[in-house]
């Protein structure tokens, strides 16, 4: 069974990769299985300098999912290039760097810095983190701002750029088209959906940041709908994510038009989830009458 997929900058042996922020830099889950098994690894967001993130509590459980407001805690792009990229590059897999910033300038700086890291294969441009407030600019919800940051990053970077879209918008297709026109090589979708939980005994929002991003199976129908809509309107590939828990879920994303998938929250319940899904994928693809991953992409779209 051929699980391989070719995407801009990425030769994936299979379409499975852990999602940004849910896998750190691979060190912890690397104690459970050999990361060479993965199609790619998407690293935790990198910002210009070290960020300590939000106060705790940073997570809350919900029905079929969870809220998080980590606040992009990371050691900063230079430390990541120095210590984390070399760790991940020991494995026979692709490395995708997730980049974030509070200003256009910071995005450019971080993207530029990754030019030096010759083991990084692509950038995932995180314009959609709902947990960062600085600058007051919403890169992820205004199509013209999204286009500007995409253009700026494309200009300074040698790497293919996958723009990670926020679902917290009314018109996802216009966001996708805006970043495609600005030069995006691919899309990554979806990021988390803004939510909140009130802790009843204390009568206060449970998460210290008050709001958090909803992830997990609860958001899967939203992700499928958005990928289904967007994949018909753009000519760049989509890395799909949002609530994937099984190989059948992966098939559903491929049918909706994703070319590869990322798995986030499910790692917390089962540290082996990516590995298990890679093992199960061939038989699931076969069970539903397909012969390769490539063949499945977009086959769920009805005219």
Partner 1 sequence: MMLKDKMKIVSTTYIAKDTIEMVLENSNITEFAVPGQFLHIHVGTHTLRRPISIADCNKQLNQIKILFKVNGEGTNKLASYQQGEYLDVIGPLGNGFTMDGETNSTVLLIGGGIGVPPLYYLGKTLKEKGINIVSVLGFQQKDHVFYEQQFQELGETLIVTDNGSYGYKGFVTDVLDQINEFDCYYSCGPIPMLKALTTKLKGKNGYISLEERMGCGVGACFACVLPTMDGTSYKKICKDGPVFQAEEVTL
Ligand X SMILES: Cc1cc2nc3c(=O)[nH]c(=O)nc-3n(C[C@H](O)[C@H](O)[C@H](O)COP(=O)(O)O)c2cc1C
> Nearest distance from residue 242's CB to ligand X, in Å?
5
Supply 35's token pair: 């990361």
Given candidates 28, 116, 171, 279, which one binds partner 1 under the rule CB under 8 A?
A: 28
* Nearest CA among 148, 146, 151, 156 for reference residue 114: 156
What character string, x for contact with partner 1 (CB under 8 A) and - otherwise, covers 199-238?
Answer: -----------------xx---------------------
Minimum distance from residue 117 beta carbon to partner 1 (Å): 21
Q: Which stretch binds partner 1 (CB under 8 A): 23-31, 176-184, 189-197, 290-298?
A: 23-31
Could you tell me if 229 and 223 are in contact, meaning their C-beta atoms sit under 8 angstroms apart?
no
Region near partner 1 per CB under 8 A, out of 48-56, 104-112, 164-172, 175-183:
48-56
Chain-centre distance of CA 101, in angstroms?
A: 16
Cα–Cα distance measured from residue 167 to residue 248, given in angstroms and rounded to the nearest whole number: 23
d(CA 285, CA 274): 16
Q: Residue 166: name its binding partner from ligand X, partner 1, none (Cβ under 5 to 8 Å by kind).
A: none
Q: Which one of 7, 17, 22, 96 is in contact with ligand X (CB under 6 A)?
A: 22
Residue 224 token pair: 């499928």
Are 257 and 18 in contact by the 8 Å Cβ rule? The answer is: no
**Cβ-contact 104, 149 below 8 angstroms:** yes
Q: Give residues in contact with ligand X (CB under 6 A).
A: 19-22, 44-45, 68, 70, 72, 98, 126, 129, 164, 191-192, 215-216, 219, 241-244, 263-266
């Amino acid at each position: 069974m051929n699980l391989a997929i070719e995407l801009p900058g990425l030769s994936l042996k299979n379409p499975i990769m852990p999602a940004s922020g849910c896998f750190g830099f691979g060190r912890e889950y690397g104690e459970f299985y050999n990361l060479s098994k993965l199609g790619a690894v998407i690293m935790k967001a990198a910002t210009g300098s070290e960020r300590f993130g939000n106060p705790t509590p940073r997570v809350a459980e919900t029905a079929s999912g969870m809220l998080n407001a980590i606040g992009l805690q990371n050691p900063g792009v230079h430390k990541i290039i120095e210590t984390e990229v070399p760790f991940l590059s020991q494995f026979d897999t692709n490395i995708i760097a997730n980049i974030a910033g509070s200003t256009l300038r910071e995005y450019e700086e971080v993207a530029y810095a990754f030019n030096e890291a010759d083991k990084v294969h692509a950038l995932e441009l995180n314009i959609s983190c709902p947990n960062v407030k600085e600058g007051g600019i919403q890169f992820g919800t205004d199509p013209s701002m999204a286009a500007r940051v995409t253009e700026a990053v494309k200009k300074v970077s040698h790497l293919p750029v996958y723009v990670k879209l926020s679902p917290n918008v009314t018109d996802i297709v216009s966001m996708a088209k805006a970043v495609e026109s600005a030069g995006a090589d691919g899309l990554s979708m979806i990021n988390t959906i803004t939510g909140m939980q009130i802790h009843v005994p204390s009568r206060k929002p449970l998460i210290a940041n008050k709001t958090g991003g909803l992830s997990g199976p609860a958001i899967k129908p939203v992700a499928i709908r958005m990928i289904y809509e967007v994949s018909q309107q753009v000519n760049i590939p989509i890395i799909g994510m949002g609530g994937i828990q099984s190989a059948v879920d992966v098939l559903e994303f491929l049918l909706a038009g994703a070319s590869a998938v990322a798995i986030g929250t499910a790692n917390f319940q089962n540290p082996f989830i990516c590995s298990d899904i890679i093992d199960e994928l061939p038989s699931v693809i076969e069970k539903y009458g397909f012969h390769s991953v490539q063949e499945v992409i977009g086959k769920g779209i009805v005219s």
